[in-house]
Amino acid sequence: MGRNEIRLRRQRMSSGRIAQHRNYGDIMARHERDVKIKRITRVFIYFIIIVVVILLFLLVRRWEQNGEPKAKQSTALVQQAPETGAR
Amino acid sequence: MSEAEILQEYSILDRAKKNPLAFGELYEKYFDRIFNFVYRQTDDEDLTADLTSQTFLIALKNVDRYQFRGVPFSAWLYKIASNEINKHYRKQKQTKVFSIEEMRIRELMEQTDEEYNEEIIHRLMNYLKELPTEMLQVLELRFFEDKDFKEIAFILDITESGVKMRTYRALDRLRKKFNLRIKYDGKE
Give the domain-ending residue among B92, B118, B138: B92
Q: Which of residues 69-98 of B touch A (CB under 8 A)?
A: 95-98
- Spatial separation of the C-alpha atoms in residues B52 and B58, rounded to whole Å: 10
Chain B residue numbers touching A26 (CB-CB < 8 A): 53
Specify the CATH number for the domain of residue B166. Answer: 1.10.10.10
In a domain, B125, yes or no: yes
The pLDDT, as a whole number, for residue A53 is 97
Same domain as B115, residue B86: no
The pLDDT, as a whole number, for residue B186 is 45
| pLDDT confidence band for A83 (50 / 70 / 90) | low
In a domain, B186, yes or no: no
Same domain as B30, residue B77: yes
Same domain as B112, residue B78: no
Give the domain-ending residue among B50, B73, B92: B92
Q: Is B163 exposed, middle or buried (0-12, 13-18, 19+ CB in 10 A)?
A: buried
Cα of B55 to nearest chain A Cα, Å: 10
Same domain as B122, residue B72: no
Cα of B155 to nearest chain A Cα, Å: 20
**Tens-place pLDDT, residues B109-119:** 777 766 777 88
Q: Is B5 exposed, middle or buried (0-12, 13-18, 19+ CB in 10 A)?
A: exposed
Select from A8, A23, A28 the Cβ nearest to the Cβ of B121: A8
Whether A1 has a pLDDT exceeding 50, the answer reads no
Same domain as B111, residue B72: no
In a domain, B183, yes or no: no
In a domain, B97, yes or no: no
Whether A17 has a pLDDT exceeding 90, the answer reads yes
Mutation pick from B18, B32, B43, B77 vs chain A, by most beta carbons of A within 10 Å, is B32
The pLDDT, as a whole number, for residue A59 is 94
Chain B residue numbers touching A23 (CB-CB < 8 A): 53
Same domain as B107, residue B82: no
| B38 within 8 A of B81, measured Cβ to Cβ | yes
| pLDDT confidence band for B188 (50 / 70 / 90) | very low
Same domain as B55, residue B120: no
In a domain, B68, yes or no: yes
DSSP letters, chain A, are: --SSEEEEESSPPPHHHHHTT--HHHHHHHHHHHHHHHHHHHHHHHHHHHHHHHHHHHHHHHHHHHHHHHHHHHHHHHHHHHHHHH-
Give me the interface pTM, i.e. the ipTM: 0.77
| pLDDT confidence band for B56 (50 / 70 / 90) | very high
What pTM, to 2 d.p., does this model score? Answer: 0.80
Same domain as B55, residue B26: yes
Same domain as B153, residue B112: yes
Same domain as B70, residue B27: yes
> How high does pLDDT run on average in chain B?
87
- Print the domain residue range for B148: 102-178
In a domain, B184, yes or no: no
Least confident of A14-28, B94-108, B136-150: B94-108
Task: Tell me which of A48 and B9 has the higher pLDDT.
Answer: A48
**Tens-place pLDDT, residues B88-100:** 999 988 888 999 8
| Measured CA distances, A84 to A41, A72, A79, A87, B109 (Å) | 65, 19, 10, 6, 113
In a domain, B152, yes or no: yes
Give how many domains chain B has, as a whole number. 2
